[in-house]
Structure 1
Amino acid sequence: MKSTSIPGCAKPKKRSTRRLPSERQEKENKNRVKQYQTIPWEASKMSDYRQPPLDDQQAVFTAQPSLSPDTDGAFNAPPKLSRRKLLAGFGATGLAATSVMLWNGENGRSVWADVYNDSSRKKHGVPFASGCCFLTTISDLRTLASPDPDIVYYVTDPGQEGFFSYDPLDSASADNTGTVLVSGGGARFKRHLSDVLSASWFGTKGDGVTVNTAAFQAALDAAAGKTLYIPKQHGPYYLTGQLYVASNTTIELESGAIIQAVDTLSRSAPYERLLRLKMVENVVIRGNGATLRMNKAAYTSGEQAHCVDISGSRNVVIENLNCNDSGGDGFYVGVYEVTAGYGACKDIILRDCLADNNRRQGLSVISADGLLVENCRFTNTKGTAPEAGVDLEPNGQSQPLRRIRFKNCLAEGNAGPGFLTALLKPTRLSPLMDVTFEDCTTRGNLYGFTINSAGEGVNAPQGEFRLIDCIAEEAQSSGFWDIGNSSDSLRRTYIRCRAINCQTTQEPDSIYGFSASFVVTCATSKPRVSIGNVEMIDCLSIDTRAIPLVKHGFALKKRSAQKISDVRFFNCTTIGGSQNTYLIDSVAERVTAVNHPQPRQTAAASAAVSYNWLGAAVTNRPAPADITLTLPVPKAEIAYTFIVDAAHRMALQAAAAGDLLTPVGSRSYIACSIPGSTITLRGRADLKWEIVSAVGDWFTDSGV
């Protein structure tokens, strides 16, 4: 190997072989060691150190000790300080920190800022470099025939600088460029490490042309149990194929770093993804605003080319990372290629992440037991169905959706739903479902929030979905769309949810949205005997447009022959336009609506009582004369209140003889004309009306 002499000095002459007296030699050796081991700063102040600037490899050696003539008059280079003395002088921890050059600088700066971004590092030389080790390059080390295990070698290749030592006991480690170098003669040189590695050590190139798959994978393999730092590229982006992350690894990307997948990731099984966390645990990825992406234009078919695939893994945290322009999903959480002994992902956190312009989904959740998605954005998905911001969709009955939490997330501009849950595969044998969306917003999607296709009977999954303080704005169709979920399947609860200016593009009264903000309905392709098991509490339909497009706040509508049952409304209201609060299909049963204060429905003339008046207090205040209100066919739990405000007879006529159960027997009608009188009727399962409460005499004027 070619050794490097002291910069700026003449080549030293050969040392005289004349031996000095032992006392004189001992004294001279001590002086030499003292001179060249002098440290210009205290070892305890390691945070003051800076790496030599990458653009000036010689600046690090400006603090050269002066040379003095030997006994024969020749000038000699400083003696090499052996590895043993180097360790003794600095301690193993200090040497590791110095050789890796990663720690916090002053004022709490990041671990890498002091290395690459601080000009003050030029003021500090490596105090022992000129007298302790050989300057060399990676290529020269690989040609070294007879390395000395007591010598430290300083590699000067830009971006790969560091201290290496020969390990005579290792004859098996593979050359990975970054932490292990192997010479042609089989010598293994090991980099002095702390807990942080740099991807640049392994020869990564960010020129947008070089394929870095092998270099990145070598870096990820070497970083197991440590932290891998990925600096911002000098060119447009890093280019790479599929990469795997090992357990117990932390990845920290520099802000502005871009890693792009090659255009040839496999779109047929076995599928390839850009970054894979497959059956691993304890992984942290800190993106710092960096981006993983693909050339989406190259992926015009298929749907499985994801940016990040987390499968069968646990204890994973991904923060502030952008996953954009994929041929599939930005993020995928599931069980792809998971082997026996591994199951659903557990305890996964996505925080402050962005998924933009992906082909299939911003995020797909196939199987998870413990998932927190917080402060994330899922935008502009378009390319292949379902084109959602987020899709929760198990692929089998054993795949759980448990302990799932979305908090303060946004889905905007997606060609499909903002937040979609598709429950085609789970059954009654599936794990209990537990999913909550809280303070989440959708804006400008096809639908806002969609839950669909929960089966019935043995195929009815159990559990609960909760949407709390969620907002759906400007959906092309309904803001909240609950479709094809059987009434014996999991409960869906909507609490303080708001739909604002939805139904932007749908045809009026379309069979998909019924011009309503909140819809419970069924799909003709997935028939159900009965749909329902929904509760809506303090929900609000708002239409503030000059030409309102929402006709109904809350719709319960069939699509074929199914029934609708077990739906409960509490204090659900509308604002703006001329919306009806409810659009209730005549097949609905066991539907309740309670409002405080109770809404009023005026009846100025004889008319049929509509299911759409559900929960209202019907008054004859504007009636100029007697009126007759024809009751609908009674359904279980459906209730109405009638109030005589005007001094005119109000008669309540049953749809069939004897359907009114009164204290004086079954009646076909009842009536009252005394102002202030009220009566509340509730439907029963046997299709009769029962009296819940009554004020005034409604029974004298009654008939069979």
Structure 2
Amino acid sequence: MSKQSNKSNEFEEAAIPVDIEETIEREEKREPLISRRKLLTTLGLGGIAAVSTGLWEAAGKSTAFASDQSVTGSVYGIAQKNRKKELLDILDMHFCLSVKLEDLRAELEPDPMLAYYVTNEMQEGFFRYDPNDNTTPDNTGTILVSSNGKRFKRIYGDTLIASWFGTKGDGITNDTLALQLALNTASGHKLFIPKQRAGFYLTGQLFIPSQIAIEFEPGTIIQAVDTLSKVGPVYERLIRIKTVKDVYINGNGATLRMNKTAYTSGEQAHIFDISGSENVVIENINANDSGGDGFYIGYFESTVAFCRNIVLRNCRADNNRRQGLSVISVDGLTVENCRFSNTKGTAPQSGVDIEPNGQLDLLKNIRFIQCVSEGNTGRGFLVTLLKPTAASEPIDIIFDRCRTKGNSFGFSMNYGGDGTKAVQGEIKLIDCMADSEQYAGFSDLSFSADSAKRSYIRCRAINCNTVNQPDDPYGYGSSFIVTTVPAQTRTVIGNAVYTDCESIDTRQVPLIKRGFTLKKNKTEIIRNVAYFNCTVKGGGQSIYSIDPASEDLHAEKHPLPIQAFPSSGAVKFDYIGFKITNAGAAGEVNLTLPTAKAAVTYTFFVEAAYRLNLVTQPGKTILTPNGGKTLIGTDMPGNSIKLLGRTDGQWEIASSVGDWLL
């Protein structure tokens, strides 16, 4: 059969073939030959777009792809150009044969010069017979094999469509095999998953291959069968991204989910399991109602003990059984503008849980940016460091402009060990906010002062302690707290810095009692905690509540907070960094100092015209130019003195105005 030589108009109707006998023979066989013009007229918008590759090529060059070249560059290669050429070749053919899939499989003597156009609904497209191939297996979507072994190959552009492989998307048919065939075939290319015809796609566990871009049509729903294995060691997840590279998934708002009522035991039935993989980007997708986690990042069943360069962007995880997101081991994780909500079922029941399984696991280059965690039974954002040690690689975690609301605790940094069990590194929380948490907005529980530093920068806790339990041992009616839990004893806790942080209570009946708390629950020491320009607003809350077991403390605020003593009393560590006065006194005031601790400072100021005396604990002194004194004082308004604690339990004069030695 001759080909049209004039290509000036790709859609020009082909000339009638010169081989009249061939035409008559085909008419006798009643084979439905159609011309190019007629064919393109019957294709409709979707078919023409698929032929021209314009629709799919445009999707492949979306903004998200452009920003993740390491992923998409590996997905698209030379094959893209070859397919464009094949599509143009189709338009050069004189005739196309309109057939059903079953017709191709029954075809015994195909013509390599014909284009076969399959008309089965949702599987439409061009096929050509390849006389040189007798080995490629039938995958139902891009390769069809006839009953006598003839191979028909689909001609397509940059994108495969899942429905080509026989998906039903009716909420009844199990589409596992068809979807897995589509995924396997799309390796190195792009796979488009159209919206279900009715209900949802029903599927078992699916494995994502390397070098693939997957795009869902908006409104797509994929639901797991109710029979995923919940019993180890053969746990099943809905989506497995296991030991692969270069994966991009754009959900366009699609939802992947389970029937949660079928998963009331166990905790491993996750929606997404990303294990031992590299260069994975998932965005604009919902992972809901799982029997485990919405997203899991680690190394389950993988020969690679960590993930590298993982991005979750604009994702949602709602109503999962164990976690919205679990992070086990990763070097390079960005979670941006994601929401984790309503986790309930089995502990820890947090929005996010960063919790390594072993000493060699990595928590490096982890960034949460403008994420929200709300309504979870457990914590909003939880970091649990039971397994890392001093021999582990330093951790590096930043929460940037993240928000929590309505969880048990908002942000909880837990369980960094003592001594040889103390992992190094730093956790930073920058411009984060905890709102209406049941207990503390920001908590450090059993986190050793030997372990990684925690830096809280411009963080705010608003209207927390909603359960109104001011003496709870772990929340203590506080917005910010450092303490321990009995099950995780520590020799010393601390190593936290709070800068420009604020405890706010705007309720008509305030429930926060303490803004910033250091609380001893057993025999531990509290050490190396600093507060810079931290404030409280609203209610009758104190700025600080500091246990006497604390040492190496620093508090600095400008202007200094003021504590007035109109009568004699004891100076507590709660007043570190304060300006302490005798305002309102009607007579002499004696203030008893605590035993000094390193770096603790107090400033005393005489306002009322009565003597203000500073008295030490028995056996302790205030070091002066005239030797150690157990009592110093003055009655001159305007006189002031700043005392600095020493490691030996004595006080020394850091500065003074007026004579305090009379």
After TM superposition, the score normalised by the length of structure 2 is 0.89
Q: Which residue of 2 aligns with 1:405?
A: 367
Match of 2:513 among 534, 540, 551: 551
Q: Which residue of 2 aligns with 1:175?
A: 138
Match of 1:42 among 3, 9, 24: 9
Match of 2:105 among 138, 142, 148: 142
8 Å CA contact 1:231, 1:254 repeated in 2 = yes
For 1:50-65, list aligned pairs within 5 A: none
Quote the offset at 1:74 in angstroms: 8.6
Distance in 1, matches of 2:529 and 2:30, equals 84
8 Å CA contact 1:69, 1:75 repeated in 2 = no
Amino acid at match of 1:267: K
Say if 1:441 and 1:68 are closer, same or farther in 2 by CA, change over 3 A. same
Query: Between Structure 1 and Structure 2, whose CA radius of gyration is higher?
Result: 1
Distance in 2, matches of 1:447 and 1:99, equals 51
8 Å CA contact 1:362, 1:390 repeated in 2 = yes
SS in 2 for 1:289: strand
Match of 1:600 among 531, 552, 562: 562
Q: Which residue of 2 aligns with 1:116?
A: none
Amino acid at match of 2:361: Q
For 1:236-385, list aligned pairs within 5 A: 236-268=199-231, 269-339=233-303, 342-385=304-347
Distance in 2, matches of 1:607 and 1:69, equals 115
8 Å CA contact 1:79, 1:132 repeated in 2 = no
Q: Which residue of 2 aligns with 1:387?
A: 349
Instruction: Deviation per CA, 1:262-301: give whole Å up to 9, x if none.
Output: 1111112221111111111111001100111111110000
Q: Which residue of 1 aligns with 2:75?
A: none
Q: Which residue of 2 aligns with 1:156?
A: 119
Amino acid at match of 1:534: A
SS in 2 for 1:220: helix
Match of 1:192 among 138, 149, 155: 155
Q: Which residue of 2 aligns with 1:123?
A: none
SS in 1 for 2:183: helix
Match of 1:209 among 164, 172, 176: 172
Distance in 2, matches of 1:384 and 1:70, equals 75
Distance in 2, matches of 1:76 and 1:70, equals 10
Amino acid at match of 1:192: I
Distance in 1, matches of 2:197 and 2:353, equals 36
Say if 1:674 and 1:162 are closer, same or farther in 2 by CA, change over 3 A. same
Quote the offset at 1:42 in angstroms: 3.5
After TM superposition, the score normalised by the length of structure 1 is 0.84
8 Å CA contact 2:51, 2:156 repeated in 1 = no
Distance in 2, matches of 1:461 and 1:128, equals 64
Q: Does 1:622 align with 2:584?
A: yes
Quote the offset at 1:254 in angstroms: 0.4
8 Å CA contact 1:80, 1:133 repeated in 2 = no
Distance in 1, matches of 2:107 and 2:55, equals 36
Distance in 2, matches of 1:406 and 1:615, equals 33
Amino acid at match of 1:232: K
Say if 1:574 and 1:563 are closer, same or farther in 2 by CA, change over 3 A. same
Distance in 1, matches of 2:324 and 2:561, equals 41
Quote the offset at 1:612 in angstroms: 1.0
8 Å CA contact 2:530, 2:554 repeated in 1 = yes
Quote the offset at 1:494 in angstroms: 0.1
Distance in 2, matches of 1:151 and 1:130, equals 7
Amino acid at match of 2:509: I
8 Å CA contact 1:465, 1:491 repeated in 2 = yes
SS in 2 for 1:142: helix
Deviant stretches of 4+, over 4 Å: 63-71, 73-81, 97-100, 105-112, 126-131
Say if 1:589 and 1:353 are closer, same or farther in 2 by CA, change over 3 A. same
Distance in 2, matches of 1:312 and 1:293, equals 23
Tell me the matched-pair count: 623
Deviates more, 1:614-623 or 1:147-156: 147-156
Distance in 2, matches of 1:75 and 1:461, equals 81
Amino acid at match of 2:389: T
8 Å CA contact 1:359, 1:382 repeated in 2 = yes
SS in 1 for 2:178: helix
Q: Which residue of 2 aligns with 1:696?
A: 658
Amino acid at match of 2:51: M
Instruction: Deviation per CA, 1:145-195: give whole Å up to 9, x if none.
Output: 222333221111111111112222222221110011111212221111321
Amino acid at match of 1:628: N
Distance in 2, matches of 1:359 and 1:633, equals 50
Q: Does 1:104 align with 2:19?
A: no
Distance in 2, matches of 1:146 and 1:175, equals 18
Distance in 2, matches of 1:239 and 1:485, equals 45
Distance in 1, matches of 2:306 and 2:508, equals 49
Amino acid at match of 1:412: E
Q: Does 1:428 align with 2:428?
A: no
Distance in 2, matches of 1:662 and 1:470, equals 44
Distance in 2, matches of 1:452 and 1:284, equals 33
Distance in 1, matches of 2:525 and 2:216, equals 54
Say if 1:266 and 1:79 are closer, same or farther in 2 by CA, change over 3 A. closer
Quote the offset at 1:104 in angstroms: 3.2
8 Å CA contact 1:99, 1:162 repeated in 2 = no
Q: Does 1:419 align with 2:385?
A: no
Distance in 2, matches of 1:374 and 1:304, equals 24
8 Å CA contact 2:323, 2:350 repeated in 1 = yes
How many percent identity over aligned positions? 50
Amino acid at match of 1:287: G
Say if 1:336 and 1:127 are closer, same or farther in 2 by CA, change over 3 A. closer
Distance in 2, matches of 1:550 and 1:75, equals 91
8 Å CA contact 1:683, 1:689 repeated in 2 = yes
Quote the offset at 1:656 in angstroms: 1.7
8 Å CA contact 1:497, 1:539 repeated in 2 = yes
Quote the offset at 1:136 in angstroms: 1.1
Distance in 1, matches of 2:20 and 2:610, equals 128
Match of 2:412 among 440, 446, 450: 450
Instruction: Deviation per CA, 1:624-651: give whole Å up to 9, x if none.
Output: 1111000011111111110011111000
Q: Does 1:613 align with 2:575?
A: yes
8 Å CA contact 1:69, 1:76 repeated in 2 = no
**Unaligned stretches of 5+ in structure 2?**
41-46, 63-88
Q: Which residue of 2 aligns with 1:668?
A: 630
8 Å CA contact 1:80, 1:131 repeated in 2 = no
8 Å CA contact 1:99, 1:163 repeated in 2 = no
Distance in 2, matches of 1:101 and 1:435, equals 47
Instruction: Deviation per CA, 1:80-116: give whole Å up to 9, x if none.
Output: 99x9x99xxx9xxxxxx9694363369978999xxxx
C-alpha RMSD of matched pairs (Å): 3.0
Q: Does 1:585 align with 2:535?
A: no
8 Å CA contact 1:79, 1:131 repeated in 2 = no
Q: Which residue of 1 aligns with 2:186?
A: 223
Distance in 1, matches of 2:294 and 2:624, equals 63
SS in 2 for 1:207: coil
Q: Which residue of 1 aligns with 2:596?
A: 634
8 Å CA contact 1:67, 1:75 repeated in 2 = no
SS in 1 for 2:252: coil
Distance in 1, matches of 2:593 and 2:403, equals 40
Distance in 2, matches of 1:463 and 1:107, equals 44
Quote the offset at 1:143 in angstroms: 1.6
Distance in 1, matches of 2:332 and 2:130, equals 45
Amino acid at match of 1:219: A
Instruction: Deviation per CA, 1:294-316: give whole Å up to 9, x if none.
Output: 11110000101111111111111
Q: Does 1:165 align with 2:115?
A: no
Distance in 1, matches of 2:132 and 2:225, equals 39
SS in 1 for 2:173: strand
Match of 1:529 among 474, 491, 507: 491
